[in-house]
Amino acid sequence: MTFEQLKNRALAEQDALKNSPAPRIYVNTAACGRAAGALSVLSRIRSELAQKKIAACVVETGCLGFCHLDPLVAVEKPGRPRVFYGRVTPDTAASIIAGYLVGDDPRPDLACFTFGEAKIDGVPSLFELPAWALQARVALRNCGLIDPGSIAGYIAVGGYAGLAKVLAMTLEEAIAEIAVSGLSEPAGAGLPAGEKWRACRRAPGPKHLVLNALTPEDLFLIEGDPHAVLEGVLIAAYACGAERGFACVAENPFAAAKLKAAAKQLAKVGLLGDGILGSGFRFHLEIVEVPAALVLNEETALWRALQGERPMPSPAGELPAVVQRAETLAAVSAVFQKGAAWYAGFGPKDNPGTKVLVLAGRVARPGVAEFPLGTPLGEIVSGFGGGAGEGRSLKAVLAGGPLGNWLPASALDLPLGTEVLPSGGCGEITVATEEDCLVDLTRHILAHTHAESCGRCVLCREGTGQLHEILAEITEGKGKPDDPDLLADLGAGVKAGSLCSLGQNAPNPVLSALAHFRSEFEAHIKRKRCPARVCGKFTTFYILLDRCRGCPACREACPEAAIAGGEGLIHVIDQEKCTKCGLCLPACPFGAVAKASGLKPLTPAAPVPVGSWGKKGRA
Amino acid sequence: MPAVVLTIDGKEVQTEKGKTVLAAALEAGIYIPHLCRHPDLAPLGACRLCLVEIEGRPGPVASCTTPAEDKMVVKTRTPQQDRLRRLALELILAAHPPDCTACPKYLKCELQSLAQYLGITDQRLRRRQKPFPVNTGNPLFVHDFTRCILCGRCVQACNELRGAGVLNFVGRGRETHIGTAFGLPLAEAGCRFCGACVEACPTGALRDKEEALLPGKNRQEALVPCRSTCPAQIDIPRYVRYIKEGKYPEAAAVIREKVPFPAVLGRVCNHPCEANCRRGKVNAPVAIRELKRFAAARDDGRRKKNTRKPSSTGRRVAVVGAGPAGLTAAYCLARLGHGVTVFEALPLPGGMLRVGIPAYRLPKEILDAEIKEIEEAGVEIKTGAKVTSLDPLFKEGYSAVLVAAGTHRGQKLSIPGAGLPGVLTGVDFLRAVNLGAKVPLGKKVLVLGGGNVAFDCARVALRLGAAEVLLACLEPAENMLADPEEIVEAKEEGVVVYPSRTFTGIVDRGGRPAGVACREIRSFSFDEEGRLRLDVVEGSEHILPADTVIFATGQRPEVPPEFGLATGRGGVILADPETLSTGKEGVFAAGDAVTGTASVVAAVAAGRKAAAAIDRYLGGDAVIDEKLAPAEEPSPRLGREEGFAFLPRRQAPLAPAEERHAGFAEAACGLGEEDAREEARRCLQCDLRLKISPVKFWADYSLRK
């Protein structure tokens, strides 16, 4: 089959669907949607449709990236825009069906936004939302909008046109095209894809194309638009002369299943295997599930793992393979569909491109989104993420996941690029507020990175272990006055001398926390105080005398029976018994439970009647 | 190889393309600290000690993994590198026990040496002890992973060098350690027990078990005990490897490089090699003697084209005695170009091989064939030629004389009745039988003694038709002098053994023996003067009935006083232990006549030693070894083999006891081809370990400057 035939068939199929009088219902059943309860919403929708005998087409999509709106459901009636409803419960789903499908009320009161050219009164268009307008959706262009399980759906939105285009090019032209786009991995910081492919082409022996899909954003992409990634795989394989490839997906049943299903469809229509699209190009892909270990982001380690060896980075020579992330490959397919110049138009002229980010932590609207390089980090956090949320003050942002840097609130004007994401392209942005202890968070991060160290090089294996141990001692009240300097010296050494990028970036959170928040470390060490009142060693829970109304709520919540009190008595926490689990804090309906660090509030030794202490105190 | 010129610390250094910066620096005498790099293993870049700065490259790079390039400018000693290097070593030391002096690797430890070099004393980091108990549960090796610094050299040695795939990194982060899959014991993990891991280990984490090393030997000897305990120094690992590879004539040639009696030794050697074989600590020693017999039988003589073809030296040597010592010496001397004549008192050559060892253990045609080859080498053997005095030999033109007369005079205990007819000595009995004489035997034969000769006598008596054969000896059952298989086979054939007995007299019944009066003993010992002390069980007197009594209680040499040689205790000739020269000019002595009754292989070894000594005496260079087998570099790769440690020792089939009993046909049939190759495969190839390059310490480099 030629590409034209394939495309015509797909378009016909999609047109038939579009022109049918049946409405379409889209449900996000990707990992985030499922976690929020999308499956029960889906089954309620199906049963409601059956019960009401409505002929509608239900489509399971990937995620649009607005995680705070999950489960996200959309309804599209012929001739109308697609209407999205957020935080849908099975009951609201039923009322949407009753309102919009049985009746003709799109329920603007429940709707979040519309997608399409037409408008619906009282509902904003997706394109008008600042969270959308800020974005440049290249890799994520179809996520949450098309059926990831349908190859025809992908072809209908321009899919595989990029492959058809590249197959008409010479290998040199293909590499030139990608070079013009300026695409690199990690975006804006790494080796340009063009150089990588050219180097692989020149290497002797058979070449391989390896898809690396281990980070959350890569898995997000594979669940939402596997064909965009696979098209990128095929284009890259063609350009660097690979006839075999491996798709390494983190052990995640959903993403791997989506990718396998997509590859099966490809093989069926002749887009995978021998003589792809009737050309001489052949490519065979093996899908491998691997643990999402940090060290596998090292190309040499991943390659060793594919050879059945223990994944450890090796210093030796060039690989007979090009390793690219799903994010990059999805962008590759876009570059060939829409042109290199189009892609080069995103972001700053000297460093064009886009980056997929995962926004998490104490942020009002967590989610996944794609931005042009150069977008100020603060705009992303506030414009897409809605800031730290009401009543909270943003303290720091961890940019780049566990290997990234803590940036203080004052540094949020930094543009998205190398300075913000130094750590190999991980797009996790985690927001911390005044409620978070940076020493404690950094300790948790180092516990993770240290456990991920492959153990080969001394500086990473032992150095990250020392960093973690010193941080742990600081949070446990055993810090020494020299520790901040020791952490800085150790961190700088590990960063400078480690074998691979895991070790070279593992000290980043420590070094950046020290650079911007040294006083927090010193408060722990010298004043035995945790300013965020997180570290249990330095924190006491107590009951505010003037707020306690003498109800049993906190006492009943305490698993250690550490709270004494009774009807009408001011409750008292026994500091000996208290394990600082914090369960009493949200249990109190009057906000009478509080935390302190560094100072011991004056409280009665035993419960006293409500009101009595205050009077006595004043008298 | 195209040359590469680079600058290291301001010094111009030339090296070959493909070498690393570290290699180039070390060759030029510039020491860069390093730990995880081993000269025989691929570089890892793991220890981060060899970091250097290279102009035009960002950050420090590991010199062990960076190829040297033309015009490269390298700096090895900037303050930044010094800091990083010290940090790397501090980190290693923080996780390593600080008890250097308690470590068996003390002063041989690369880590200790580096800590001294970098001068790291104080410890600002958090110490930690790795939670690994010392594992002594494996054969041959001790695993003390508390001392492991995870340099990865053992893993590489096991995987890349040997291909055995037993040791690997396990766990991640702080949990990272070296181990076998699922923590299995080495044997179950497919270990080949080659020792490459121990050899590669820079610290005391992987060590040889003290008790698995031969005491009092140097390292080379201690690690290849079969070769170092072979009196004749036969290169056992080499010929076993040839058998494994199916190259049997080459294997025979390797044996022939040291001894002219491969087939004989393949049958009757007392194989100290097997007693010390390291495989014996794993499950059972390699059947080295059987493999020797197997190889000898497949000697196609091609090796002969490699033998030395010396021109005649014009010197003549007389050898007294055509036993294993005399014939070996004669053979070696002939190969050196000397004219050799062997004088043998008996009608046939071979000495004890001929008249001591029964034919069922050593068929006469096997012996004849090997003696024939000695004659072919130019040795003249005169049989029935008893030498009564040495001086005439010198007058006849011999420049040197070797006395290798053996110990052919049997000793009886001085107890009442020892002189009765029907009371024989073992040597006389065996000699008579071996030379085809009729020996009148009674129905009940009692052999006194517990060595191999005693068992030979007992088993020969059985074969000659004795109805009942008893054997009594001083030693307790678990500690008898004979080889264990001799005892087992004799018992199978019907010999009844009475251990822990002392003999008080022979019962005289009308001038014929009727039995031996015995007492049981609890133990015996020798006092300072060498006298026997017995702890006799009171009231244990009893009589073992017999009508023929054979004393197999020791032999001594028969050296005519006319030889004019000094003799010592037991009548042995006194000779210098190194030069084997006697007090008399030009006269050398070797074999049992010097040492007292020993083994065939010891006699052969003594013959070699004597030949070297005599050659030196005659002005030669005393190099008697020959290169008969092709020089081949063995592959360091052993490959992966599950269950290697459990491969059972292949036994040579033995005729059933009833058949053996019936006559003098050879009892053991030798290994078949499949069995032999399987048996050879069991060899641990301990010698491969010696091929691993030794590691140099910083002091070794600074000395070169």
For the stretch A530-563, pLDDT in tens is 999 999 889 999 998 888 999 999 999 999 999 9
- DSSP states along B355-383: HTS-TTTS-HHHHHHHHHHHHHTTEEEET
Instruction: Give which of B37, B87, B128, B176 to mutate to test A binding, by max A Cβ within 10 Å.
Output: B87
Query: B6 vs chain A: nearest CA distance in angstroms?
Result: 21
Q: Which helix (H) or strand (E) holds A366?
A: none
Confidence of residue A615 (pLDDT cuts 50, 70, 90): low
Instruction: Give which of A191, A300, A462, A476 to mutate to test B binding, by max B Cβ within 10 Å.
Output: A462
Query: A454 vs chain B: nearest CA distance in angstroms?
Result: 5
Residues 6+ apart with CB under 8 A from A444: none
Q: Which of A440, A428, A421 is nearest to A533 (CA)?
A: A440
Query: A236 vs chain B: nearest CA distance in angstroms?
Result: 29
A316 touches chain B (CB under 8 A): yes
* ipTM confidence: 0.87
Q: Do A458 and B173 touch (CB under 8 A)?
A: no
A465 touches chain B (CB under 8 A): yes
Query: Is residue B265 pLDDT above 80, yes or no?
Result: yes
Q: How far is CA B336 from CA B232, B322, B340, B377, B378, in A?
A: 18, 19, 10, 10, 11
When computed from its CA atoms, the radius of gyration of chain B, rounded to whole angstroms, is: 31
Query: A304 vs chain B: nearest CA distance in angstroms?
Result: 14
Q: Do A454 and B43 touch (CB under 8 A)?
A: no
Residue in chain B nearest A504 by alpha carbon: B59
| Tokens 């936004």 -> residue | A113
Q: Do B62 and A452 touch (CB under 8 A)?
A: no
Q: Do A456 and B94 touch (CB under 8 A)?
A: no
Predicted pLDDT at A613: 66
How many Cβ atoms from other residues are within 10 Å of residue A41's Cβ? 26
The 8 Å CB, 24+ separation contacts for A202-207 are: A203/A318, A203/A320, A205/A320, A206/A242, A206/A243, A206/A244, A206/A320, A207/A240, A207/A241, A207/A242, A207/A243, A207/A320, A207/A321, A207/A322
Percent of chain A with pLDDT over 90: 74
DSSP B304: G
A456 CB neighbours in chain B (<8 A) are 44, 46, 150, 152, 169
Q: Do B65 and A316 touch (CB under 8 A)?
A: yes
Confidence of residue B530 (pLDDT cuts 50, 70, 90): confident
Predicted pLDDT at B92: 94
pLDDT in tens, A84-141: 999 999 999 999 999 999 999 999 999 999 999 888 988 999 999 999 999 999 999 9
Q: How far is CA B454 from CA A210, B417, B483, in A?
A: 76, 19, 11
A215 touches chain B (CB under 8 A): no
Residues of B at the A interface, defined by Cβ within 8 angstroms: 42-48, 51, 59-60, 62, 65, 80, 83-84, 87-88, 91-92, 94-95, 124-126, 128, 149-150, 152, 168-169, 171-176
Query: A126 vs chain B: nearest CA distance in angstroms?
Result: 45
Predicted pLDDT at A189: 58
pLDDT in tens, A329-362: 999 999 999 999 999 999 998 888 999 999 999 9
Q: Do B176 and A461 touch (CB under 8 A)?
A: yes
Q: Do B174 and A451 touch (CB under 8 A)?
A: yes
Predicted pLDDT at A617: 45
Q: Do B174 and A497 touch (CB under 8 A)?
A: no
pLDDT in tens, A353-387: 999 999 999 999 999 999 999 999 999 999 999 99
Query: B132 vs chain A: nearest CA distance in angstroms?
Result: 17
User: Strand A608-609 and strand A569-570: pairing?
Assistant: antiparallel
A497 CB neighbours in chain B (<8 A) are 48, 51, 60, 84, 87-88
pLDDT in tens, B486-506: 999 999 999 999 999 999 999
The more confidently predicted of residues B128 and B610 is B610
Query: A613 vs chain B: nearest CA distance in angstroms?
Result: 48
The more confidently predicted of residues B490 and B121 is B490
Query: Is residue A305 pLDDT above 70, yes or no?
Result: yes
Query: Is residue B249 pLDDT above 50, yes or no?
Result: yes
Residues 6+ apart with CB under 8 A from A528: A477, A538, A598
Q: Do B173 and A456 touch (CB under 8 A)?
A: no
> CA A144 to CA A140: how far, in whole Å?
9
Query: A250 vs chain B: nearest CA distance in angstroms?
Result: 18
Confidence of residue A423 (pLDDT cuts 50, 70, 90): low
The 8 Å CB, 24+ separation contacts for B42-46 are: B42/A316, B42/B156, B42/B160, B43/A315, B43/A316, B44/A314, B44/A315, B44/A456, B44/B151, B44/B152, B44/B156, B45/A315, B45/A457, B45/A499, B46/A456, B46/A457, B46/A458, B46/A499, B46/B150, B46/B151, B46/B152
Residue in chain A nearest B149 by alpha carbon: A458
A418 touches chain B (CB under 8 A): no
Query: B120 vs chain A: nearest CA distance in angstroms?
Result: 16
Report the residue from B88, B124, B174 with minimal CB separation from A450.
B174
Predicted pLDDT at B703: 47
Q: How far is CA B391 from CA B313, B318, B405, B584, B585, in A?
A: 22, 11, 16, 10, 11
pLDDT in tens, A574-604: 989 999 998 999 999 999 999 988 777 778 8
**Strand order through the sheet with B11-16:** B11-16, B3-8, B73-75, B51-54, B61-62
Query: Is residue B705 pLDDT above 60, yes or no?
Result: no
Q: Do A465 and B174 touch (CB under 8 A)?
A: yes
Predicted pLDDT at B659: 85
Instruction: Compute the C-alpha angle B679/B681/B685, nearest 5°.
Output: 115
Count, in order, helices (H) and strands (E) of chain B: 25, 25
pLDDT in tens, B266-287: 999 999 999 999 999 999 999 9
The mean of the pLDDT values for chain B is 93
Query: A176 vs chain B: nearest CA distance in angstroms?
Result: 27
A293 CB neighbours in chain B (<8 A) are 172
> CA B642 to CA B421: how far, in whole Å?
63
Q: What is the mean pLDDT of residues B229-244?
A: 96
Query: Is residue A618 pLDDT above 70, yes or no?
Result: no
pLDDT in tens, A155-181: 999 999 999 999 999 999 999 999 999
Predicted pLDDT at A317: 64
Predicted pLDDT at A200: 86
Q: Do A466 and B60 touch (CB under 8 A)?
A: no
Query: Is residue A203 pLDDT above 70, yes or no?
Result: yes
pLDDT in tens, A444-477: 999 999 999 999 999 999 999 999 999 999 999 9
Q: Using an 8 Å Cβ cutoff, are B204 and B96 in contact?
A: no
B44 CB neighbours in chain A (<8 A) are 314-315, 456
The mean of the pLDDT values for chain A is 91
Predicted pLDDT at A602: 79
Q: Do A497 and B124 touch (CB under 8 A)?
A: no
Predicted pLDDT at B704: 45
A499 touches chain B (CB under 8 A): yes
Instruction: Give which of B21, B37, B174 to mutate to test A binding, by max A Cβ within 10 Å.
Output: B174
A315 CB neighbours in chain B (<8 A) are 43-45, 62, 65
> CA A177 to CA B156: how far, in whole Å?
43
Q: Do A470 and B126 touch (CB under 8 A)?
A: yes
Residues 6+ apart with CB under 8 A from A159: A151, A227, A228, A231, A333, A337
> CA B444 to CA B469: how far, in whole Å?
6
A466 touches chain B (CB under 8 A): yes
B84 CB neighbours in chain A (<8 A) are 459, 493, 496-497
Q: Do A315 and B59 touch (CB under 8 A)?
A: no
**Backbone φ and ψ of A524, nearest 5°:** -65, -45
B91 CB neighbours in chain A (<8 A) are 458-459, 462-463, 466
Q: Do A486 and B124 touch (CB under 8 A)?
A: yes
> CA B425 to CA B410: how far, in whole Å?
5
Report the residue from B46, B152, B172 with minimal CB separation from A452.
B172
Lowest mean pLDDT among A314-328, B162-176, B416-430, B607-621: A314-328
A458 CB neighbours in chain B (<8 A) are 46-48, 88, 91-92, 149-150
A298 touches chain B (CB under 8 A): no
Residue in chain A nearest B80 by alpha carbon: A493
Query: Is residue B694 pLDDT above 80, yes or no?
Result: yes
Q: What is the mean pLDDT of residues B460-481?
A: 93
**Strand order through the sheet with A354-361:** A367-372, A354-361, A428-433, A394-399, A405-408
Question: Helices B324-335 and B600-617 sit at what angle, rounded to 10 degrees?
Answer: 40
Q: Which helix (H) or strand (E) holds A229?
A: helix A226-240
Lowest mean pLDDT among A199-208, A499-508, B449-458, B499-508: A199-208
Q: Which of A215, A280, A583 is nearest to A427 (CA)?
A: A215
Predicted pLDDT at A18: 80
A288 touches chain B (CB under 8 A): no
- Per DSSP, helices labelled H in B448-578 are 452-463, 484-493
